[in-house]
């Protein structure tokens, strides 16, 4: 970046220091000396700027298989801004597997910088609501997400939620892991084959992950939690013998 200095400066030696850099470039911490020989002189000072690295890492782990009617938990061991500069709109989003489970609660985890953030959710009716606001990144918050706690209608439930931090500094990362608890639907609540139908053994569900690229050169992640997995071994044998 090039800076031009002109004004009512007395003749003498000065030092220039960069306090702002172009978008997606890092500030040059070097101090550059220059000299003014007479009032009104225009002095050109050049600061070399290096391109910033933009990236995030978000990783999710959980059970490989789940059983209908059980409560499960999965967690995010890594939520991190890997960029060398702050990101203006950092968030992670969970797209819930509503054909197989209902979300129970979110334990937010903690982070290494003191910020405030909010949690926004969408229901199966397309309604958007702020589930929690002004949460502290240094507190491990428990956020209830069941319909009864959110005041939703009897047939309304969450289909996704977003944890939105806004601007975060470089190196922003989770300290305590965020955790999501879900209730796997029973046989009567899903379209999965009944366990009494030996010709079609009951299917379990296996986690999978889908990454979603956002604009403005800032990558955030969305997750599609489960996809159909293989049947339980015992029930597979029953179905085969049937």
Instruction: Verify that 28 and 68 share a domain, yes or no.
Output: no
Given pLDDT bands bounded at 50, 70 and 90, which one contains residue 182?
very high
- pLDDT of residue 231 exceeding 60, the answer is no
Instruction: Verify that 168 and 60 share a domain, yes or no.
Output: yes
* pLDDT tens by residue, 158-178: 999 999 999 999 999 999 999
| Residue 51 belongs to a domain | no
The whole model's pTM is what?
Answer: 0.65
| Residue 142 belongs to a domain | yes
Instruction: Verify that 38 and 69 share a domain, yes or no.
Output: no
Lowest mean pLDDT among 53-62, 164-173, 190-199: 190-199
Strand partners, 130: 120
Instruction: Verify that 38 and 60 share a domain, yes or no.
Output: no
| Residue 149 belongs to a domain | yes
Q: Which domain holds residue 7?
A: 2-46
| Residue 74 belongs to a domain | yes
Instruction: Verify that 9 and 82 share a domain, yes or no.
Output: no
* pLDDT tens by residue, 75-126: 999 999 999 888 999 999 999 999 999 999 999 999 999 999 999 999 999 9
Instruction: Verify that 41 and 74 share a domain, yes or no.
Output: no
């Amino acid at each position: 970046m090039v800076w031009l200095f002109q004004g009512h400066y007395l003749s003498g030696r000065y030092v220039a220091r960069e306090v702002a850099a172009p978008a997606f470039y890092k500030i040059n911490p070097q101090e550059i000396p220059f000299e003014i020989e007479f009032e009104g002189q225009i002095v050109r000072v050049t600061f070399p700027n290096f391109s910033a690295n933009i990236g995030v890492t978000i990783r999710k782990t959980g059970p490989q298989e789940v059983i209908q009617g059980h409560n499960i938990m999965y967690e995010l061991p890594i939520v991190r801004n890997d960029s060398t500069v702050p990101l203006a709109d950092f968030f992670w989003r969970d797209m819930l597997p509503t054909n197989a489970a209902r979300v129970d609660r979110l334990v937010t985890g903690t982070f290494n910088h003191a910020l405030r953030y909010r949690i926004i959710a969408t229901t199966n009716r397309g309604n958007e609501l702020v589930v929690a606001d002004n949460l502290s990144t240094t507190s491990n918050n428990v956020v209830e997400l069941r319909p009864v706690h959110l005041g939703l209608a009897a047939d309304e439930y969450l289909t996704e939620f977003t944890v939105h931090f806004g601007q975060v500094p470089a190196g922003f990362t989770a300290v305590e892991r965020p955790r999501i608890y879900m209730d796997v639907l029973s046989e009567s609540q899903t379209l999965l084959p009944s366990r009494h139908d030996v010709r079609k053994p009951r299917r379990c569900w296996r986690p999978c992950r889908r990454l979603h690229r956002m604009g403005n050169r800032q990558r955030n992640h969305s997750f599609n939690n489960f996809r159909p997995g293989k049947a339980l071994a015992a029930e597979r044998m029953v179905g085969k013998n049937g």
